[in-house]
Chains A and B, each alone.
Chain A
Amino acid sequence: MEYIILILAGILFATAIYNILQKQLLRIIIGTVLLSHGAHLVILTMGKLKRGNPPILDESVTNYTDPLPQALILTSIVISFGITSLLLVLSYRTAKENNTDNMEEMRGESNE
């Protein structure tokens, strides 16, 4: 099971990077979201995808899935959500101010 999920994570990374290397702001943000999905999958898989019970204590159960990666991912989801929303608003403002969402056109002034 793990290696299939890891290959999936690899594919998510590849699509994310391809998106990030594009010129349009929206695609770049899509790329970052895909990237965080890939990362979450990796974290989950590294804790072994044991098919146990959900990590909720119950007298009758002895075999739980690993709760620690889950807690880590939960934190990560929230953080990446915060960043995504900020990025979105930032890109909205940038496109508004510059009348473009093309990264190639958004360059600073040369220093000299």
Chain B
Amino acid sequence: MSFMHFIILLPFIAAIFIPFVYKKWNIHLHTGWFVIIVPLFIFINLLFQIPAISNGDTIFLSMKWIPSLGINFDIYLDGLALMFALIISGIGTLVVLYSIFYMAKEREALHNFYVYLLMFMGAMLGLVSSDNVLVLYTLWELTSVSSFLLIAYWYERKKSRSGALKSMIITVFGGLAMLAGLIMLAMITDTYSIREMIASVNLIIESPLFIPAMVLVLLGAFTKSAQFPFSIWLPDAMEAPTPVSAYLHSATMVKAGLYLLARMTPIFGGSAAWFWLVGGVGIITIFYGSIRAVRQTDLKALLAYSTISQLGLIMSLLGVGSAALYFNIGNAQEVYAVAIFAALFHLFNHSTFKGALFMVVGIIDHETGTRDIRRLGGLLTIMPVTFTIALIGSLSMAGLPPFNGFLSKEMFFTGMLHASEVNIFGLDGWTILFPIIAWIASVFTFIYCMILLLKPFLGKLQPEKLPKDNVHEAPFGMLVPPVILGSLVVLVFFFPNLLAEYILKPALVSVIPTVSTGNEVFEIHAWHGFDSIELWMTIGVIFFGLLLFFSIKKWNIAFRFFPDKLSLNNLYNATIENMEKQSASFTDRYMTGNIRHYLLYIFIFITVIMIGSLISFDAISFNFSSTGEISIYDIGILVVMVAAAMTTLLTKNRITAIVSLGAVGYLMVMLFVIFRAPDLALTQMVVETVTTVLFLLCFYHLPKLGKRLEKMKFKVTNLIISIGVGLTVTIMTLIASGHRLHVPITNFFENAYELAGAKNIVNAILVDFRGFDTMLEISVLLIAGVGVFTLIKLRPKGSENDEA
């Protein structure tokens, strides 16, 4: 275990101590002050890695976990991992700081909150730095679990619980699919290490499992990153406390899917399926998310849909950029690598402005008591600082200068325009849809950004509609984290190449290993000149966005044509409900509670399996060579025995049934005599007598057999089944007795006298050679006797018939 491992695992270690700290010091000091040390420490340590990583070095550190299975906690820190780790720890620090002022230390169960949060942070850090796919999967699921716990943090609310459940079901479904995909990759390459998988990428491409593995891994990424149609869990996850929404559901966890895609791009990228799946799903998600966001009246729901949309944006860029791997070198590669570069850039930008926006919404919620935009308005003069941050955040999200969103949005358009020129995967005509859909989605993005910015802050303050009176600006501490994020948004706009040089380019090399980052294509410029199409697209977005925003009341009606019933949520709910109903009715159908039905299943199963396997193995062959000859006595005994057995069925009289059963038993005695088994005959006779006596004792207390009123179907079914079982037994035993494979060991037992001093061989076997059987058989009898005694003697208290 190296120092780096310690850094990654630090949140877990800290989580253990949080409850003790909470118990001891929370009355004096908010627990968050202890927690904040952890992400800050990690962040600072990671900052020291930047020089080495940006030089093109990578850090690989191994820690044995289950070495015999090749599962080790190997840390592989390259540009991509470092970028994510910095975002996780950096925003983590700010979110903890924010939560100190957001979560009241008197009312909330803070120890739970911070334990979950640290658990999440550790899982996320480990996820992005792990080189081993199984460790990656483990931590992937741990992020799902901790997200589940955090969404349901206020577990007494029904909505929190259902939101948590929904996110759990969807992300774990994707996680399991991903596990299958990762195992397929491991099977192909015979390693669990991602680096080694990338090294043997040729094996993967030639494998027939290439497409299944890709689809399964993509399922994991799509569900985690809330891509269409798995996006429905994200809006419901907004029931979590706002710091959680800001951290998990905008900046970090939802980007785990993007991380996975970026990580897997060297393996799958360059194929048409990847290009279309990732790019296509991404572009659909941008469109879906931005349109849905416009309709929301809850600020957090609006941000949730905007997150979905922005994630789709990054996803589509990753998809388009993967074409860079198709061209191994040169100009064509760089053209598409720019898309990956834009994806990474926007990923970083989104983390900053979306985190800030969530914190803004949290402040509004915290100070006014509501997040409903129909109630809010006129907060501009009351909360000037909050407004400023909201302005920076939402204009950046809309893609306006002078904020970082502008830069990445321009690059997004560039990427999409390049995508329209893709002519390598045989479907060149369709790619023109990419820039068109992207542009329309950007217009809607602009509209909802305006809603987010203007509705709560402009207009008139309506104090009577707000749950809290005396609305005022948030406390200083609560404003610090969003201010830091907001200033980052502005700083990145003015010094984008600093970020690009130290963070983004090393990350780009991790995704497209063959690219040369020295090229000036990867210089970020705010100004492309009037002749660039991107600029005019942005101007168009602003123009149409403003036009549509001010006429929103007129065209909003159009949404009525998409009724809520057609939503994905309804589909999900109906599916879950149907599945429960179907399985319940299925279980009710075969689990009737009637023992006869279960017996029927068992007997039918036995017959079908036995006969079926005999036929399928072609094993039906009889060998009638017999050792014993048949005498007239034998025939007589057999006939009478069959008759007696039949009588037990046909009689309506209980005593006849019992007596004929006795007759079968005594005829068994006769058979034992004929076949030279004196001990058996003796025992059978005694046992039969006692059994018959018992039957006679019992039947007196049982109701009369009476007339059989069973339906014909009942009888016929029983008849068929019983004949089937009888036949099966006969056929099986006939085949078996005709084919003896080995000489019996009987001759050994003829040494009974020399070895055991007994002349009766059967008795010698029972008490000497195989005495253990006999001992246990005695215990069976003993237990049966105790059982009989108990059944007769012990009665439940207050039983009605106490005559015994």
Contacts and interface: CB of A to CB of B under 8 A. Distances in A.
Contact of B701 (A7, A79, A92): A92
B780 A82 contact: yes
Nearest to A80: B687
Interface stretch (B118-126, B435-443, B749-757): B749-757
B750 A82 contact: no
B57 interface: no
B677 A54 contact: yes
A90 B791 contact: yes
Interface in A93-107: 93, 95-97, 100-101, 103-104, 107
A112 B12 CA distance: 42
A9 to B, nearest CB: 6
Interface string A43-61: 0111111111111111000
A32 to B, nearest CB: 11
A24 B706 CA distance: 10
B566 interface: no
Contact of A91 (B690, B698, B766): B698
Contacts of A81: 687, 690-691, 781
A73 B777 CA distance: 12
Q: Which of B629, B737, B744, B792 has the most CB of A within 10 A?
A: B737
A30 to B, nearest CB: 5
Contact of A19 (B595, B648, B745): B648
A13 B698 contact: no
A23 B766 contact: no
A108 B641 CA distance: 38
Contacts of B683: 74, 77-78
B579 interface: no
Contacts of B624: 3
B760 A56 contact: yes
Contact of B661 (A30, A64, A70, A83): A30
A58 B753 CA distance: 10
B679 interface: yes
A13 B606 CA distance: 13
Interface string B576-615: 0000000000000000011110011001000000000000
A55 B657 contact: no
Contacts of B734: 3, 6
B733 A9 contact: yes
Interface in A1-33: 1-27, 29-30, 33
Contact of A23 (B690, B710, B792, B801): B710
A45 B733 contact: yes
Interface in B98-139: none
B765 A71 contact: yes
A15 B770 CA distance: 33
Nearest to B671: A41
Q: Which of B624, B626, B792 has the most CB of A within 10 A?
A: B626
A33 B198 CA distance: 68
B677 A108 contact: no
B729 interface: yes
Given A17-B725, A71-B762, A95 B628 contact: no
B691 A78 contact: no
Chain B contact surface mostly: helix
B668 interface: yes
Nearest to B789: A89
Contacts of B648: 15, 19, 27, 30, 34
A58 to B, nearest CB: 8
A58 B758 CA distance: 11
Given A2-B737, A81-B691, A86 B784 contact: yes
B671 A21 contact: no
Contacts of B642: 8, 11
Contact of A92 (B676, B698, B733): B698
Contact of B729 (A10, A24, A108): A10
Nearest to B763: A71
Interface stretch (B15-23, B480-488, B539-547, B714-722): B714-722
B649 A49 contact: no
Interface in B727-752: 727, 729-730, 733-734, 736-737, 740, 744-746, 749-750, 752
B702 interface: yes
B551 interface: no
B581 to A, nearest CB: 13
Contacts of A3: 622, 624, 626, 734, 737
B690 A17 contact: no
A51 B629 contact: yes
Contacts of B629: 1, 51
Contact of A77 (B594, B684, B736, B737): B684
A70 B788 contact: no
A107 B761 CA distance: 49
A40 to B, nearest CB: 7
Given A1-B626, A64-B750, A70-B677, A17 B722 contact: yes
Nearest to B700: A92
A17 to B, nearest CB: 4
A47 B744 contact: yes
Q: Which of B627, B630, B752 has the most CB of A within 10 A?
A: B627
A17 B638 contact: no
A55 B762 contact: yes
Given A46-B737, A78-B683, A51 B726 contact: no
Given A70-B677, A78-B781, 9 more contacts: A13-B726, A14-B723, A15-B726, A18-B649, A56-B759, A68-B744, A82-B785, A89-B788, A90-B791
Interface of A: 1-27, 29-30, 33-34, 37-38, 40-42, 44-58, 64-68, 70-71, 73-75, 77-79, 81-86, 88-93, 95-97, 100-101, 103-104, 107-108, 110
Which 6 residue pairs across A and B have the least CB separation, nearest first? A14-B726, A10-B730, A1-B628, A82-B784, A17-B722, A18-B722
19 contacts: A4-B638, A15-B649, A15-B722, A48-B737, A51-B629, A52-B676, A56-B678, A58-B759, A67-B765, A68-B746, A75-B773, A78-B777, A83-B784, A89-B791, A89-B792, A91-B698, A95-B703, A96-B701, A96-B801
